[in-house]
Amino acid sequence: MTWKKFSGEIINSTILEEIEKAIIRETENGFKLKVCIGTDSQVKGSLTDFATVIVLLREHHGGFMYIHQEKNPQKMSIKERMLVEVQKSIESAYSICDLLDLYDVDLEVHADINTNPMFKSNKALNEAMGYILSMGFIFKAKPEAFASSTCADKMLH
């Protein structure tokens, strides 16, 4: 799986190694970190673009992120697409959660799902929330889910 920095620079090591280096560097610089993971998608013709981000937040000092993008040719309902977004976020969270536990870094999984029933994405809210919480992760939905609704979203436009 190819990850890159916001600058577009491709990460040549594993995402796990990259995040560990970042945690050590930022902690040595005196920052307390929190990690937020989210995925957003956009349908473009017959393809669905997915962008997953791992955001490392420095408490009161901004942050930085790593991005993984992929295209999927499968036709999906909005609910399916929301749940695929959540699945991609959970896979990323799962791949780094042991490392985060080791360094005592908090983790949140963000879903680009609206808590307002007026929005179509709300159909997937209960399942997404159940999925994330059952995996033992902290869950945030819109409007608090900035990793998916702002950071990942920017990678699709």
Check if the beta carbon of residue 147 is closer than 8 Å to that of residue 53: yes
pTM of the model: 0.93
Sorted by sequence, the CB contacts under 8 Å of residue 25 that are 6+ apart come out as none
pLDDT profile of the chain (157 residues), mean per 10: 94 97 97 97 94 96 96 93 95 97 96 87 89 93 89 85
Q: What is the pLDDT of residue 37?
A: 97
Instruction: Kindly list the strands in the beta sheet with 4-5, ordered across the sheet, starting from the edge strand earlier in the chain.
Output: 4-5, 63-72, 47-58, 33-44, 106-114, 138-142
Q: What is the pLDDT of residue 29?
A: 96
The domain tally of the chain equals 1
Q: What is the pLDDT of residue 121?
A: 82
Q: What is the pLDDT of residue 152?
A: 86
What is the extent of the structural domain holding 38? Answer: 4-154
The per-residue b/e assignment along 79-88, b for 16 or more CB within 10 angstroms, e otherwise, is: bebbbbbbeb
Q: What is the pLDDT of residue 83?
A: 93
